[in-house]
Amino acid sequence: MKQDIILCGVGGQGILSIATVIAQAATAAGLHIKQAEVHGMSQRGGDVQSDLRLSTDEIFSDLIPDGSADLIISMEPMEALRYIPRLNAGGAVVSAAEPLVNIPDYPDQNEILRALSALPHAEVREISRIAREAGNPKGSNMVLLGIASKYIGILPAAALREAITVIFAAKGQDIIDANLRAFDLGAGNGL
Amino acid sequence: MKRLLLGDEAIALGAIHASLGGVYAYPGTPSTEITEFIQNDPLARSQGIRSRWCTNEKTAMEAALGMSYAGKRALVCMKHVGMNVCADAFVNSAITGVNGGLVVIAADDPSMHSSQNEQDSRFYGKFALVPVFEPTTQQEAYDLIAQAFDFSEANKVPVLFRIVTRLSHSRAEVELREPVRHEPLPLAQDKGWILLPAIARRQYAALLDKQSAFAQASEEAAVLEGGGSGLGVIACGIAYNYVRESGADVTILKVNRYPLPEKKVRELAAACERIIVVEDGQPVAEQDVRGILGPQYKVFGRLTGDLPRTGELTPDNVASALGCSSGKRLAVPGPVAARPPQLCPGCGHRDVYNALNAVAAEYPGARIFGDIGCYTLGALPPFKSLSSCVDMGASITMAKGAADAGVFPAIAVIGDSTFTHSGMTGLLDAVNDGANITVVISDNLTTAMTGGQDSAGTSKYEAICTALGVSPEHVRVVIPTAPNMPEITRIIREEIEYRGVSVIIPRRECMQTLRRKNKK
């Protein structure tokens, strides 16, 4: 069994933290993992993307072949669209609804949301609103991970929750709890 | 014990576990994380492994050679273009040979994710006649670095260790071994380190004599796998992963060392009807294979267009070259605009470019020569300030040359770390020649582009400039903020009008390092 995930967003939105949590959970579960990320110039407010591969068998390529990703997790709606050619025909898209407009020619937002919701398996949610509801306005990325958790079939949600407690352990119990609340609200588990 | 590590981190830990004495490096994507890992690793700290950043790749290479001379194991890390900066020391280190193991990591960036070119460092290995190691995976990177140190010491030669972005910046699990304690060798005593012509000729002959041992080691490391169709694949470094990913039924020669294993290449050729060479970067091995097999044998690769001549390998272009492309791709279903990187909100470089643009607009002949760093983004909208960006330090010297040819005003914009890396010598040229240039050292107190490493000249810039001969009244320090705009533009005008070398230093901390400090 394997699962190929594209993580994407804009530099500074925290996609690498999502990758770190999933990677921790996968490591604890004894899965094989490869995770390619982008450093350097593009981290300055440009589009950023990470290929995350989880498998029960050996993984060869660090990059996911085009047209074969099982899931796109995007912190930004236009960025989700950008990587659709990486997705397989039955793949799912989980994306933030809120646009990050930092370029002058950002396209019509409604058109972007229409294109996303027309996809066969897409879940587009207002993650910053949910993060505020969870009392953790900086936890949008953990909300998104919560929403995505039901599509990450290779790992149970409990494994991701456990990984959050490990990754944020150094920052204290309050930060762990805030991130778990964000994750749970995203996952639809209530508070 | 297993640990999830970036390729860069696997190399760092592999070196620490191989009894490293010191790492010498200048930050550069995608190599930076090697040195950062060593700086922060508890074992490295407890062993007192030397790890501070160096001023540039040449000082790094030379200091590492000095540590090797003294008998300890030394590591040098840089991005590919850093090899150009340290080339003099690197090439001659092959002639002197080494004492303690010396490994030079060159991190190539095919596709230019964060670079100005995609030069292939393996050429430097051939050029300097040193062995090149090129790991396939993070695990192999960890294992191979220890072998590289052993090989370097056993053969008294530096080893060039070549990696690419997709290995540097990809994580995978790595099985760790027990750290090895390796006693430093005695201080070097022989005269081979003094490269006077008579000695250098002997040393060069000795280096040539070692070549057959290097070739033999490559033969032993290369692995022939599978016995598929008539197609043979020479898979170098990470190319092997893409070949395996494709599932193609082929015979593979897995190569992770150079000089290329000639006998194994002939063996593969004999077992197959044709060969495709799959390598990330430039067609270095492909050219060698053509030389080995001659014009009659069918060899494919980047030179024949079966793989793209530019850009990095991907699982897709490799699968397609091996004839097993899946083909099905969804289209982008809605509007998508390019989102190029940009200067951070609140960044001081923004104020510098606003001021420069305002003043430059008053001079129709104004040209602003840029340099390498975050501030290169001043070339893009909304600023569009820069006319050039070539290599570390070129802003000052290109401005000088342009001023020599009559350009006025000729303005250079260079970052603080880039200035100490390669700008100071150019400034001395300008002073000695009485060049009419205005140099802006945009000082954000850090090496920002690569993630905020220490900058070698922090708090020393005024002293450096005046010591190089810039007159003290023409070394001007400003704080780049919007309210200071009238003062900054006035000073820029004054210094443009001064017929000689002037230096303006806008100084304000990088927003990224400031944010991290405030978090603590």
pLDDT digits over B365-406, tens only? 999 999 999 999 999 999 999 999 999 999 999 999 999 999
Residue B504's pLDDT band, with cuts at 50, 70 and 90, is very high
Pairwise CA distance, residues B394 & B418, whole Å: 10
Question: Taking CB atoms and an 8 Å cutoff, what residues of chain B touch A90?
Answer: none
Partner-chain residue, chosen from B170, B335, B381, that has the shortest CB–CB distance to A107: B335
Token pair, residue B309, equals 């001549």
**pLDDT 10s digits, B135-168:** 999 999 999 999 999 999 999 999 999 999 999 9
Question: Taking CB atoms and an 8 Å cutoff, what residues of chain A touch B169?
Answer: 36-39
Contact A39 B171 (CB under 8 A): no
What ipTM goes with this model? Answer: 0.95
Residues of chain B with pLDDT > 70, as a percent, come to 99
Pairwise CA distance, residues B52 & B453, whole Å: 10
Question: Taking CB atoms and an 8 Å cutoff, what residues of chain B touch A105?
Answer: 337
Predicted local confidence at residue B395, as pLDDT: 98
pLDDT surpassing 80 at residue B227:
no
Choices 2.60.120.260, 3.40.920.10, 3.40.50.720, 3.40.50.80: CATH for A2-187? 3.40.920.10
Predicted local confidence at residue A38, as pLDDT: 79
Which residues in chain B are classed under CATH 3.40.50.920? Answer: 223-321
Which residues in chain B are classed under CATH 3.40.50.970? Answer: 2-182+190-220, 348-518
The residues near B392 (Cβ < 8 Å, ≥ 6 apart) are B56, B81, B85, B371, B372, B418, B421, B422, B423
The residues near A47 (Cβ < 8 Å, ≥ 6 apart) are A8, A9, A10, A11, A79, A82, B339
According to CATH, what is the number of the domain B223-321? 3.40.50.920
Pairwise CA distance, residues A161 & A157, whole Å: 6
Give per-residue burial for B472-484: e unless 16+ CB within 10 Å, then b. Answer: eebbbebebeeeb
Nearest CA of chain B to the CA of A112: how many Å? 6
Token pair, residue B4, equals 């999830």
Instruction: Name the phi and psi angles at B44, rounded to 5.
Output: -60, -40
Residue B520's pLDDT band, with cuts at 50, 70 and 90, is low
Predicted local confidence at residue B70, as pLDDT: 98
Nearest CA of chain B to the CA of A189: how many Å? 30
Q: Is B169 on the interface with A (CB under 8 A)?
A: yes
Section A142-163 average pLDDT:
96
Nearest CA of chain A to the CA of B434: how many Å? 36
Predicted local confidence at residue B228, as pLDDT: 67
Q: For chain B, give the mean pLDDT.
A: 97
Question: Taking CB atoms and an 8 Å cutoff, what residues of chain A touch B30?
Answer: 39-40
Give SS3 for A189: coil
Q: Which DSSP state fits A22? A: H
**Which amino acid appears at position B509 of this protein?**
E
Nearest CA of chain B to the CA of A44: how many Å? 5
Question: Taking CB atoms and an 8 Å cutoff, what residues of chain A touch B315?
Answer: 61, 63-65
Question: Taking CB atoms and an 8 Å cutoff, what residues of chain B touch A37?
Answer: 169-171
Question: In terms of pTM, does the model score above 0.90?
Answer: yes
Q: Within its chain, how far is the Cα of A148 from the centroid?
A: 7
Q: Is B170 on the interface with A (CB under 8 A)?
A: yes
Q: Which CATH architecture has domain B348-518?
A: 3-Layer(aba) Sandwich (3.40)
Contact A34 B172 (CB under 8 A): yes
**pLDDT 10s digits, B17-46:** 999 999 999 999 999 999 999 999 999 999
Q: Is B484 on the interface with A (CB under 8 A)?
A: no
For tokens 């006035």, name the residue: B490
Section B260-281 average pLDDT:
97
Residue A191's pLDDT band, with cuts at 50, 70 and 90, is very low
Predicted local confidence at residue A39, as pLDDT: 73
**pLDDT 10s digits, B436-495:** 999 999 999 999 999 999 999 999 999 999 999 999 999 999 999 999 999 999 999 999
Closest CA to B129 of B12, B212, B249: B212
Contact A66 B4 (CB under 8 A): no
Contact A82 B244 (CB under 8 A): no
Section A119-123 average pLDDT:
95
pLDDT surpassing 50 at residue A7:
yes
Pairwise CA distance, residues A115 & A110, whole Å: 9
Residues in A 144-183 with any Cβ partner in B closer than 8 A: none
- Most B CBs within 10 Å, among A49, A64, A66, to test the B interface: A66
Contact A34 B4 (CB under 8 A): no
Residues of chain A with pLDDT > 70, as a percent, come to 97
According to CATH, what is the number of the domain B2-182+190-220? 3.40.50.970
Contact A106 B337 (CB under 8 A): yes
Predicted local confidence at residue A45, as pLDDT: 82
Contact A34 B170 (CB under 8 A): yes
Residue B63's pLDDT band, with cuts at 50, 70 and 90, is very high
Going from N- to C-terminal start, the domains of chain A cover 2-187
**pLDDT 10s digits, A48-78:** 999 999 999 999 999 999 999 999 999 999 9
- Burial of A188 (C-beta count, 10 Å sphere; 0-12/13-18/19+): exposed
Pairwise CA distance, residues B63 & B59, whole Å: 6
**pLDDT 10s digits, A75-110:** 999 999 999 999 999 999 999 999 999 999 999 999
